[in-house]
């Protein structure tokens, strides 16, 4: 959204006139002898390139305004700070130490997502409030239910949306992405780019996330109108710019928020000239950026407005607790951000005084900060619901703001978790297929594969075991089920409830009475193919022995890559091998109908090439360019417990096993957030309105 420059100039003149006599040294003055409500705040942020001086300026400004806010009260809130360098601390140890210190009121920090996640895991376990500017969607979703994580911006889901919206606004038709999905920061962009590009009507020319320089070269060769650049570190911006200047690439570049900040220009020098992108920042109507420059003579760095607001909310909460001594910090924060009585201004000292007076009078003011309205979702209070993004560009060694943007959220049903609830709208249409005829159904077989191992991949085994229990409940015998799983989760040393596996907290134990036929590490993708083809070997004595009267149900949960399903991390079931196997099964009439459900990233890229055989239907959690999304995080265990595609499948089929396949597709499509559930080979299967899951679930 574009703001009027005259309006901003007017705001700047007012602020300049008020604070022209202030200096950094004179902002904080000594309070009198009234009752002091002193709270210690731990600040964990990077210190290099003069960044710590920037953070201290933010809190110096906050301290000054707190003095104004409480200057007339019988008591006052005062903060002291402990600063830690997030890049040079052992964050596991620091997080545990801060969580266990009663004198630490709250922790602010975690500029970088990897670091924020380490801190969050320890702080949440220790029930310590953590306010952060890190914005990966997994961080936010993982700790949403705790009530202790307060993210001061929307997630990077929204930043990705804003970047792609800029492409649309600029008239671009195609996009590519450079990002590293092994890094928490880049992973959100990789996870959501393909999904959002499709929803916004853009052609996806590729997600390039391998070896960095090779990824950059491949992106430049993609022919995309625009390339979204999400480097993991500042020095990678130099690599992109250098290579761009040496090639005849006609694509235009847009950078994420890592391209914004005084440290970027300082480190890159001339290589920063001309870079353009988006970064979360202050709402221009609040005048925060102008006043910061007035106070200190320097530009605010990335996250300055959000960090100020974090401290301001803690100040209000400390005062609220002083007025209501039976309220926790979490309860106080929620009461503050829930206020809707009236607008008390913004973030400056007099505005803060109005809020303090309103709280003292038992009122609930509508709080606005430097970054804008401080609205948090009313379910979990994890994220600010709306953020302002600068459309920045480096010109003559300085940042200029070309525009201010917000996400319209047009495809989100609500703002819970600040961007997570994007609902897919590009549904498939299916042909009738009613002329396809089948012989009688005489038996059912099932093949279930949990294609990963280790505690970190808990959800894959949990999901497959939940499908196993579903089949057993509907009458399958173990003789008709082949279950492949590593079986290293139930009795893992990290499992707080040995012998138990669940897909949600307090859920049923899906490990009960399980009979596993093959450990994943004992067989290979080729053995899986032999099992599917009914070929007995010394490694595969139990196989699918089907014929033209046998319905086969297959469920696979694991990791995926373009054109392959990952088998225990280092092996792969390739598209070509699977496609040829399915063709052979069709030629030999080894099944009547076959339904293959796959929970894996990029799974559409595998099954779009497996079409053409009568009686086969493939459901995938994602299209060829998308990742699938985990669903339920356990902070206590530090793992994701389930996947959204699988949990929706279980809910749908458990409720109605005779559900038509078309209705099942609709439910999966609507409820599976962040990817487009796909169906392949429907034209060779039959009418999806009359074909039901009952044929596969009930033997």
For residue 595, list its beta bridge partners: 553, 617
- Taken in order 358, 360, 363, 367, is the CA torsion positive or negative? positive
Residues labelled as active-site residues: 559, 601
Q: What is the residue-wise DSSP string for 373-393?
A: E--B-TTT--BBS--EEEEEE
Residue 394 DSSP one-character state: E
Distance CA(290)–CA(231), nearest Å, equals: 29
Question: Could you tell me if 66 and 77 are in contact, meaning their C-beta atoms sit under 8 angstroms apart?
Answer: yes
Backbone phi, psi, residue 332, to 5°: -65, -45
At 542, list the tokens.
Answer: 């139990």
At 149, list the tokens.
Answer: 């994580």
Closest C-alpha among 248, 297, 245 to residue 271: 245
Residue 40 DSSP one-character state: E
Backbone phi, psi, residue 626, to 5°: -125, 155
Question: Could you tell me if 306 and 68 are in contact, meaning their C-beta atoms sit under 8 angstroms apart?
Answer: no
Closest C-alpha among 543, 557, 620, 623 to residue 585: 543
Name every residue whose Cβ is closer than 8 Å to that of residue 611 and which is 6 or more positions away in sequence: 618, 680, 681, 684
Determine the length of the chain.
699
Q: What's the Cα-to-Cα distance from 260 to each of 10, 362, 370, 404, rounded to whole Å?
A: 26, 41, 18, 14
Distance CA(542)–CA(76), nearest Å, equals: 74
Distance CA(78)–CA(76), nearest Å, equals: 6
At 466, list the tokens.
Answer: 């939940």
Displacement of CA 162 from its chain's centroid (Å): 15
Residue 588 DSSP one-character state: T
At 32, list the tokens.
Answer: 């009198």
- Taken in order 331, 332, 337, 342, is the CA torsion positive or negative? positive
Distance CA(486)–CA(657), nearest Å, equals: 28
Distance CA(536)–CA(444), nearest Å, equals: 19
Query: What are 491-496's contacts with CB under 8 Å, separation 24+?
Result: 492/455, 494/455, 494/637, 494/638, 495/455, 495/637, 496/636, 496/637
Distance CA(171)–CA(183), nearest Å, equals: 31
Give the CA radius of gyration of the chain: 28
Distance CA(43)–CA(314), nearest Å, equals: 13
Containing 189, the helix (H) or strand (E) segment is helix 184-199
């Amino acid at each position: 959204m574009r703001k009027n420059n005259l309006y901003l100039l007017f705001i700047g003149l007012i602020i300049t006139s008020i604070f022209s006599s202030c200096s950094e040294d004179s902002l904080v003055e000594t309070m009198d002898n009234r009752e002091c409500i002193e709270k210690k705040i731990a600040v964990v942020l990077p210190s290099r390139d003069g960044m710590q001086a920037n953070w201290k300026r933010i809190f110096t400004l906050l301290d000054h305004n707190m003095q104004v806010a409480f200057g007339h009260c019988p008591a006052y809130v005062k903060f002291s700070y402990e600063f830690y360098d997030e890049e040079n601390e052992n964050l596991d140890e620091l997080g545990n130490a801060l969580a266990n210190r009663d004198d630490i009121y709250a922790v602010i920090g975690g500029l970088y997502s990897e670091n924020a996640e380490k801190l969050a895991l320890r702080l949440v376990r220790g029930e310590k409030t953590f306010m952060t500017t890190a914005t990966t969607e997994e961080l936010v979703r993982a700790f949403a239910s705790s009530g202790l994580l307060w993210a001061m911006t929307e997630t990077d889901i929204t930043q990705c949306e804003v970047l792609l919206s800029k492409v649309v606004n600029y008239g671009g038709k195609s996009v590519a992405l450079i990002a590293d999905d092994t890094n928490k920061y880049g992973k959100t962009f990789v996870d959501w780019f393909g999904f959002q590009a499709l929803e916004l009507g853009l052609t996806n020319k590729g997600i390039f996330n391998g070896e960095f320089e090779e990824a950059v070269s491949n992106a430049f060769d993609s022919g995309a109108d625009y390339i979204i650049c999400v480097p993991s570190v500042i020095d990678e911006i130099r690599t992109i710019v250098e290579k761009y200047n040496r090639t005849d690439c006609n694509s235009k570049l847009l950078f994420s928020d890592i391209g914004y900040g005084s440290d970027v220009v300082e480190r890159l020098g001339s290589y920063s000239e001309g870079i353009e992108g988006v970064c979360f920042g202050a709402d221009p109507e609040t005048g925060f950026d102008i006043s910061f420059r007035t106070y200190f003579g320097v530009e605010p760095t990335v996250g300055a407005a959000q960090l100020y607001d974090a401290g301001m909310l803690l100040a209000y909460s400390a005062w609220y607790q002083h007025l209501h001594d039976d309220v926790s910090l979490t309860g106080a924060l929620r009461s503050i951000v829930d206020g809707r009585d009236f607008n008390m201004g913004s973030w400056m000292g007099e505005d803060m005084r109005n809020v303090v007076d309103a709280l003292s009078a038992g009122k609930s003011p509508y709080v606005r900060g430097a970054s804008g309205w401080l609205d948090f979702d009313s379910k979990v209070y994890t994220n600010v619901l709306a953020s302002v993004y600068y459309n920045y560009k480096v010109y003559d060694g300085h940042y200029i703001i070309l525009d201010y943007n917000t996400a319209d959220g047009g495809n989100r049903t609500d703002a819970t978790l600040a961007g997570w609830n994007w609902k897919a709208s590009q549904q498939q249409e299916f042909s009738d297929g009613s002329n396809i005829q089948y012989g009688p159904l005489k038996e059912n077989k099932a093949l279930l594969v949990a294609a990963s191992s280790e505690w970190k991949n808990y959800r894959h085994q949990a999901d497959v075991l939940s499908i196993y229990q579903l089949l057993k409940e509907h009458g399958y015998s173990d003789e008709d089920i082949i279950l492949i799983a590593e079986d290293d989760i139930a009795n893992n040393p990290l499992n707080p409830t040995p012998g138990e596996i669940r897909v949600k907290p307090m859920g049923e134990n899906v490990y009960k009475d399980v009979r596993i036929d093959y450990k994943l590490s004992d067989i290979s993708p080729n053995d899986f193919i032999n099992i599917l083809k009914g070929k007995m070997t010394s490694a595969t004595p139990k196989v699918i022995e089907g014929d033209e009267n046998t319905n086969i149900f297959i469920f696979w949960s694991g990791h995926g890559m373009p054109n392959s399903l990952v088998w225990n991390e280092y092996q792969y079931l390739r598209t070509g091998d699977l496609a040829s196997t399915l063709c052979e099964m069709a030629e030999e009439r080894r099944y009547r109908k076959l339904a293959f459900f796959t929970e894996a990233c990029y799974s559409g890229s595998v099954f779009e090439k497996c079409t053409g055989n009568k009686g086969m239907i493939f459901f995938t959690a994602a299209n060829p360019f998308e990742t699938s999304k985990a669903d339920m995080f356990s902070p206590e265990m530090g793992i994701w417990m389930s996947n959204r595609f699988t949990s929706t499948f279980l809910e749908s089929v458990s409720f109605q096993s005779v559900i038509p396949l078309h209705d099942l597709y609709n439910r999966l499509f609507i409820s599976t957030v962040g990817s487009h559930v796909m169906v392949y080979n429907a034209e060779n299967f039959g009418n999806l309105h009359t074909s039901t899951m009952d044929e596969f679930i009930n033997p």
